[in-house]
Structure 1
Amino acid sequence: MHITGTDTLLFIGDSITDAGRDRADATSLGSGYVHEIARTLHEGTDGAAVPTVINKGVNGNRVYDLAARWTTDVIDHRPTVVTVKIGINDTWRRYDSGLPSPVDEFEACLDGLLAETTRTLSARLVVITPFLLPVAPEQKEWFEDLTPRTEAVLRAAAANGAQVVRADLALARAARTKEAAELARDGVHPSPLGHRIIADAWLAEADPRPLGQQGEARPDLG
């Protein structure tokens, strides 16, 4: 399946999705990967219809925060493609605030949200994995919590037929040739380059071909 001009793409998650969007402006996409995806999809359309893109990221959110606003921020918009990026705050709050998010409860909540969406909408589901690029020694211990949480994300995605964007792997590959801080200044929040890498990973997984040129192959978005 490919993205077309009749699609409504809704992105929901934490600050990585939010990326400074203006919440008073429903059309604001922020300056992160959502904006980059929308820009790429809109380029070269030559007047063809373009998909509607909605950003519902909220900084600081954990999976339970998504659950509290899922109806109003997802279901009510009737999107055709729903992308979820969540998990790093569920880990981070354990280490900086002592606020636990047990992996089994996290998985059950995410699975429930994906299942509800499948029941209510005929929408494609896309899940972006959480990631961490440690820039401080103490961040390395976060993987004790984040690794099983990422596995939980993958299980929830598989159980609900969601496509998976492995942002963790894409950024880890980039970190082989670049400093972690070049990709995410604090190990969590992407730089413009980091956001572009996530956007390209999403585009490669969602497999959009140039709008208005569905008979041609999608260009390499490398």
Structure 2
Amino acid sequence: MRKGLLINLDRCSGCDSCIVACKLENDLPLGHFYNKVIAVGPTGTFPNVEKYWLPSQCQQCENPACVHVCPTAASYRDPETGMVLIDKEKCIGCKSCMEACPYGARYLVQSEDGYFGSELNEYESVAYENMPKMTVDKCDFCIEHSGDGKPDPVCVKACMAEARLFGDLDEMKKLVAERGGEAYLPEEGTEPRVFYLPTITA
């Protein structure tokens, strides 16, 4: 079953719980994040001033530019789930996918150092095995950490405001259509599977 992520911008408070939960669950090195929460605004003029927070991550595109440009087929779409994944054994760190991604959702692992230097502690030595040096990494909806090979994003569970909803792709599209949602990130013909419910203005 193909999955999608729906983010209700009216509910996002910019608390960054999704960022912290993601970083801990995926054992991300210093300076690397799968999730970002961008402050947009303030816009308008006093007293009609508005500001909102825009969560951003890999959009798990149906037509992913990153896959099309990868010279080694390290970036690929899983035929069963439609997830965009990275085969680290094939990745050569050329950064072509990073340049092709219109969302800035990928990063290059340039060092194997831990938080306190090159000598990794016991936790880091295990956690960083999935991120070899000079390979690209990104959000995979926690497919590697779910235990059953199915996506199970921890950012959704950690969202205290319930701004994130993860489920059947068609159901997510239906909810967006009912609300008149739109993609706040550049669509670029990639057909993202992360959708946004727009903020309601007076």
**TM-score, length-scaled by structure 1:** 0.25
Structure with the bigger RCO (C-alpha within 8 Å, sep 6+) is 2
**TM-score, length-scaled by structure 2:** 0.27
Higher helix share: 1
Larger Rg: 2
Higher strand share: 2
